[in-house]
Structure 1
């Protein structure tokens, strides 16, 4: 898959992003794809080839995930991620585009549509994180403990990346070696877990109802009927909140929709 790999800096942190040129030379459309927690831009690899028939596709890795820099010295919140994505668009001189977001990336996509309505054409949300409150004081205290990163590392190693992925999909046979490798690589960096602890303390909460109701972009929401992490009931709640939304419940799909049902999702993106 041909693409160009780039880096730009946000708050002095190196951010990795990729540009996949459109195969349609007559099209100037761009779509930005935003990944979820513990994932990276590579989670969209099965969607990108078809999307390139009509879009220039851009992916980025939110720090400390994927190939972006990991640092426990800087706190990244959802507001920072939103500003980071907008800064990337400014860096690339992109004024108007579509956005797709999975899980946590879906929350950031909605924030972009809320904060920059003049820049967003359509939203495509794949089981977007919604209605989560900020980290409570007790949990924040636990995440601040010096031993917390080591505890997280032990838990992840005990469950294994394979077990983690197999839990999130409706059909465990859809967990491929490529997925396991892509999700495993970031965990090899010793800075990841201190960075995660910092993120847990500072991430903030999801957009409140009154903010969701002000999003003007046409929105298509996708949800796996067998999602074990975020139940489809959240999708129906979002459908009632977002003024211009439609919802598609996908049978035989879990939480990792871009990996599980890429063809179905892309068929609705136009």
Structure 2
């Protein structure tokens, strides 16, 4: 099969999963792309054209983001989101793959690797978040209050798309209308996402601890921007210490949104990494 692209939504358990699957060649290995918080598969739009030269690529909108479901009854813990990703891939008969997780997608990736180490051949964490606690019990209780979802919406509106984008990129001149609209659109269409974010606040578990990370033997490439204001480089350095089979690459003149800021450089790092049979720590 050559150059076959599929886009769609499939129900997995009690949630809908939106995906974009570029199946270029049956002989190519498969990459699974998981985006960050308040984002979607849109954030990989500049990286995918490079990746499909060598890989079959499937991008997934993690619930409740992008075009995936925002059901209030779904459990939005990273562990359960990872479980849903695995179930979705099993439905596509994808049982061996490498994973790319950006920011929050890195947290989900680590949960997936921890629970299903046999499925993931390699992991690439692009400014992957880590070491975060769960929210306080007080905050979780507040999230049950009526109209809490409107408070989340107001907070995000007040911070504004422009401010948020300027915080995640180093070169602010790259921000254009396509970028603004792509990140803003999912939050305009459906108020249910704000209700789901309240549920996500309650469901978030403590990130994997040092002993959990140390038990992960999957080869991991950690890619960080030197000027990341969201997940600073010190997190990448700490993950590099705690993940025994990891390599850290730092990109200059870049911030947090690596798939958009440095797609070609990220592609070459990934390609080289996946060609290397072993990693020297």
TM over 0.5: yes
Residue of structure 1 equivalent to 2:200 = 199
Residue of structure 2 equivalent to 1:155 = 155
- Tell me how far apart the structure 2 counterparts of residues 143 and 232 of structure 1 sit (CA, whole Å): 31
- Any idea what the Cα deviations from partners look like across 1:70-107, whole Å, max 9, x if unmatched? 22233311111110111111111111111000011011
- Gaps (5+ residues) in structure 1? none
Kindly indicate whether the alpha-carbon contact (under 8 Å) linking 2:161 and 2:180 is maintained by their aligned counterparts in 1.
Answer: yes
Where in structure 1 do 4 or more consecutive aligned residues deviate above 6 Å? none
- Tell me how far apart the structure 2 counterparts of residues 138 and 253 of structure 1 sit (CA, whole Å): 36
SS at 1:124 equivalent: strand
1:89-108 aligned at under 5 Å gives the runs 89-108=89-108
- Tell me how far apart the structure 1 counterparts of residues 253 and 146 of structure 2 sit (CA, whole Å): 41
Q: Which moved more, 1:128-137 or 1:9-18?
A: 9-18
Q: Which moved more, 1:193-202 or 1:139-148?
A: 139-148
- Any idea what the Cα deviations from partners look like across 1:51-80, whole Å, max 9, x if unmatched? 001100001111110001222233311111
- Tell me how far apart the structure 2 counterparts of residues 217 and 268 of structure 1 sit (CA, whole Å): 17
Cα deviation, residue 47, structure 1: 0.6
Of 11, 29, 32, 1:9 maps to 11
Cα deviation, residue 123, structure 1: 0.6
Kindly indicate whether the alpha-carbon contact (under 8 Å) linking 2:71 and 2:196 is maintained by their aligned counterparts in 1.
Answer: yes
- Tell me how far apart the structure 2 counterparts of residues 216 and 205 of structure 1 sit (CA, whole Å): 21
- Tell me how far apart the structure 1 counterparts of residues 168 and 73 of structure 2 sit (CA, whole Å): 31
Kindly indicate whether the alpha-carbon contact (under 8 Å) linking 2:14 and 2:74 is maintained by their aligned counterparts in 1.
Answer: no
SS at 2:28 equivalent: coil
- Tell me how far apart the structure 1 counterparts of residues 26 and 108 of structure 2 sit (CA, whole Å): 29
Q: Which moved more, 1:74-83 or 1:143-152?
A: 143-152
1:239-254 aligned at under 5 Å gives the runs 239-254=240-255
- Tell me how far apart the structure 1 counterparts of residues 219 and 6 of structure 2 sit (CA, whole Å): 30
- Tell me how far apart the structure 1 counterparts of residues 28 and 51 of structure 2 sit (CA, whole Å): 13
- Gaps (5+ residues) in structure 2? 272-281
- Tell me how far apart the structure 2 counterparts of residues 244 and 74 of structure 1 sit (CA, whole Å): 34
Cα deviation, residue 163, structure 1: 1.8
- Tell me how far apart the structure 2 counterparts of residues 2 and 177 of structure 1 sit (CA, whole Å): 29
- Tell me how far apart the structure 2 counterparts of residues 251 and 27 of structure 1 sit (CA, whole Å): 34
Residue of structure 2 equivalent to 1:146 = 146
Q: How much is the aligned-residue C-alpha RMSD, in angstroms?
A: 1.5
Residue of structure 2 equivalent to 1:40 = 40
TM-score normalised to structure 1 length: 0.95
TM-score normalised to structure 2 length: 0.91
Residue of structure 1 equivalent to 2:23 = 21
- Tell me how far apart the structure 2 counterparts of residues 178 and 215 of structure 1 sit (CA, whole Å): 38
Kindly indicate whether the alpha-carbon contact (under 8 Å) linking 2:79 and 2:112 is maintained by their aligned counterparts in 1.
Answer: no
Kindly indicate whether the alpha-carbon contact (under 8 Å) linking 2:225 and 2:233 is maintained by their aligned counterparts in 1.
Answer: yes
Kindly indicate whether the alpha-carbon contact (under 8 Å) linking 2:167 and 2:230 is maintained by their aligned counterparts in 1.
Answer: no
